[in-house]
Amino acid sequence: MYELDESKYLYLLFLLPLLVLLFLWVQFWKLKKQREFGDANLVQRLSPEKSIFKPVLKFAIVLLGITMLIIALVNPKIGTKVEKVKREGIDIVFAVDVSKSMLAEDVAPNRLEKGKQLVSQIINNLGSDRIGIIAYSGSAFPLLPITTDYNIAKMFLQSMNPGMISSQGSNLNEAIQLTQQYFEGSGNTSKLLIMVTDGEDHSEAAAEAAAEARKKGIKIITIGVGTTAGGPIPIKRGGVTESYHIDKSTGEKVITQLRPEALEDIAKSANGAYINGNSTKEVLEFMRKSLNNIQKTEFEATEMANFQSQFQWFLGIGFFLLFLDVFLLERKTKWIQKLDLFNEKKQN
């Protein structure tokens, strides 16, 4: 296993082909000037120690040295072993609503982006808990299984969008039921479902599913995103709003609203709590207190241990090659003459 700490510097590798082209152009220019100066055989006799091979070798060494320095900037890291570690925490599943109503912009930048920001901030404040992610609208989709890798979780989180699930609506009960499958292998670990949604298009089955989840030891916290005044659902192209979703029966704009009562009912059914998600600071403080009141359980996690930076090796090789180039002269050496790689003896 390996990872690249500063992968942005890989773009510097595009400079290498440019250097090769520049080198070839310089060699062509030198050859042209030599031909203008006089007969090629005569020029060769006037400079018998001039090597054709050495400039190519020197350039290859410089090019390899620069490549090593670029790789050093990238800083590859290698995981030396996989080990099992004991951790203490709870199992948390985030169920994020990705229905079209979450595109409403009654909270900035819109409900979905605000919800993803909240989840990301909550993850940043976790300790050693395991987390999973579910996306849902008209149906529920398992996006990320239970893991301790928070960086991967946030990467999957950012990829969430309304287009990932074709059926529309807010099927909260299916999301709750899918969460129960996530927790099947958790044993006695404390279990928490955090639902981020506007609560629209819910059904009574959601409260029933929450009550069933409570029987299985799952606590539910609902975070409402949006406003009770509501807002229209924009239709955008290239980031620009072209129009809004229209109710086909009335011909009016669809106004989607936050439904806190529905979310309170779901949370209450699963011995949890509801909080309005418009204030990130209040949500984080609420989650901190809530998580502190949940009993932590020890569990075993598999992790890649001892990721070590390897930049120093590439840095050392790079400087060595550049240092070597300084002492490598362009004139012929005896062993090069013996090899006669470029058939130079016949030219003499």
pLDDT of residue 55: 82
Please state which CATH number belongs to domain 86-302.
3.40.50.410
**Burial class of residue 39 (count of CB atoms within 10 Å of its CB; 0-12, 13-18, 19+):** exposed
Of 154, 157, 103, nearest to 135 by C-alpha is 157
Please give the single-letter amino acid code of residue 193: L
Phi-psi region of 226 (alpha: psi -120 to 50; beta: other; left: phi over 0): left
27 Cα distance to chain centroid: 44
**pLDDT per position in the chain (348 positions), as tens?**
667 778 888 889 999 999 999 999 988 887 787 677 656 565 555 555 566 677 888 889 999 999 999 999 998 887 666 666 677 789 999 999 999 999 999 999 999 999 999 999 999 999 888 999 999 988 899 999 988 889 899 999 999 998 888 777 767 888 999 998 888 877 778 999 999 999 886 667 888 899 999 999 999 999 999 999 999 999 988 888 889 989 888 889 999 999 999 899 999 999 999 999 999 999 999 999 999 988 887 766 666 556 677 888 999 999 999 888 877 766 655 555 555 554 555 544
Q: What is the pLDDT of residue 296?
A: 84
Q: Can you give the pLDDT at residue 228? A: 93
Residues of the chain with CATH 3.40.50.410: 86-302
CA distance 179 to 342: 71
Compute, in degrees rounded to 10, the torsion defined by CA atoms 101, 105, 106, 108: 130
DSSP characters over 188-226 = TS-EEEEEEE--TT--HHHHHHHHHHHHTTEEEEEEE-S
Enumerate the β-bridge partners of residue 255: 232
What 8-state DSSP symbol labels residue 174? H
Q: What is the pLDDT of residue 165?
A: 83
50 with 332: CB under 8 angstroms? yes
Taking each helix axis from N to C end, the angle separating 172-182 and 204-215, rounded to the nearest 10 degrees, works out to: 20
Contacts of 210 (CB under 8 A, 6+ apart): 176, 220, 266, 267, 269, 270
| HSE-up (13 A, CA, CB side) for residue 14 | 4
Give the C-alpha separation, 302 to 147, whole Å.
Answer: 10
User: Please, what is the Cα angle at 281 between 280 and 287, to 5 degrees?
Assistant: 85
pLDDT at position 193, please? 96
Contacts of 347 (CB under 8 A, 6+ apart): 41, 44
Read off the pTM.
0.64
